[in-house]
């Protein structure tokens, strides 16, 4: 399904074929074929940055991704529900970015930051459950966030690192997913 392949590229930002396939548990051979077709249509491009090669979405591909997402959303009659989840997410997001910043800057708020992130996950879980009733592809964020928190008990870089599935990296992806699904601009 082209939607999931394009959307995986959108969420991952820059990723190889294997990672794109794994994101939504798709067959790698099928995904490779879809990516090649998407490249022919100008939706994605394959390039090398900083020694790593991968696919990224073009501006045209971003518009196609949003067209397919809007079709999916309207087909599921879930626009109001997703908007409500997004609004709740936005409230939680404020605390998450404050906590991540506090951890990085080692300011006094860092002491309670882990509790804020644990609370954010607890608040997100029922929202994810609501979402996947209409859009099953949202499943998995809670588990990834929990995995990051478990790792962070021993290694706090799992809270904000960019080179692994850290709490912030997953949260940032989730934010992008909600924004993309609703077709709204990042503030």
Which one among 10, 23, 86, 151 touches other proteins, defined by CB under 8 A?
Answer: 10
| Closest listed residue to residue 90, CA positions, set 62, 133, 123, 65 | 123
Name which of 25 and 59 has its Cβ closer to other proteins: 59
Q: Does 104 bind other proteins (CB under 8 A)?
A: yes
Among 26, 83, 101, 123, binds other proteins (CB under 8 A): 101
* 64 belongs to the binding site for other proteins (CB under 8 A): no
Return the number of the residue (55 or 78) whose C-beta is nearest other proteins. Answer: 55
> CB-wise, 62 or 125, nearer to other proteins?
62
Among 32, 88, 165, 176, interactor with other proteins by CB under 8 A: 176
156 interacts with other proteins by CB under 8 A: no
| Residue 19 interacting with other proteins (CB under 8 A) | no
What value, to the nearest 5°, has the Cα angle with vertex 74 and ends 144 and 22? 30
Tell me if 161 sits within 8 A of 103, measured CB to CB: no
Neighbours of 168 (CB within 10 A): 22
**Residue count of the chain:** 187
Q: Phi then psi for 162, rounded to 5 degrees?
A: -100, -10
Report d(CA 107, CA 87) in Å as an integer: 28
CA gap 35, 17 in Å, rounded: 8
**Where along the sequence are the contacts to other proteins (CB under 8 A)?**
10-14, 45, 47, 49-50, 52, 56-59, 62, 94, 97-98, 100-101, 104-105, 160-162, 168-169, 172-173, 175-176, 179, 186-187
């Amino acid at each position: 399904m082209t939607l999931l392949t394009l959307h995986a590229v959108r969420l991952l930002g820059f990723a190889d074929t294997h990672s794109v396939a794994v994101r939504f548990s798709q067959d790698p051979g099928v995904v490779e074929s879809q990516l090649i077709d998407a490249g022919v249509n100008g939706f994605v491009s394959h390039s090398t940055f900083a020694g790593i090669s991968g696919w990224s979405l073009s501006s045209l591909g971003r518009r196609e991704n949003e067209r397919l997402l809007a079709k999916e959303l309207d087909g599921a009659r879930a626009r109001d529900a997703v908007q409500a989840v997004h609004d709740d997410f936005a409230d939680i997001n404020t605390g998450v970015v404050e906590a991540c910043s506090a951890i990085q800057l080692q300011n006094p708020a860092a002491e309670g930051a882990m509790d804020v992130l644990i609370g954010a996950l607890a608040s997100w879980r029922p929202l994810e459950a609501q979402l996947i009733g209409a859009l099953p592809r949202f499943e998995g964020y809670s588990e990834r966030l929990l995995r990051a928190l478990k790792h962070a008990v021993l290694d706090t870089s799992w809270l904000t690192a960019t080179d692994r599935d850290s709490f912030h990296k997953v949260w940032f992806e989730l934010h992008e997913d909600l924004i993309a699904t609703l077709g709204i601009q990042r503030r």
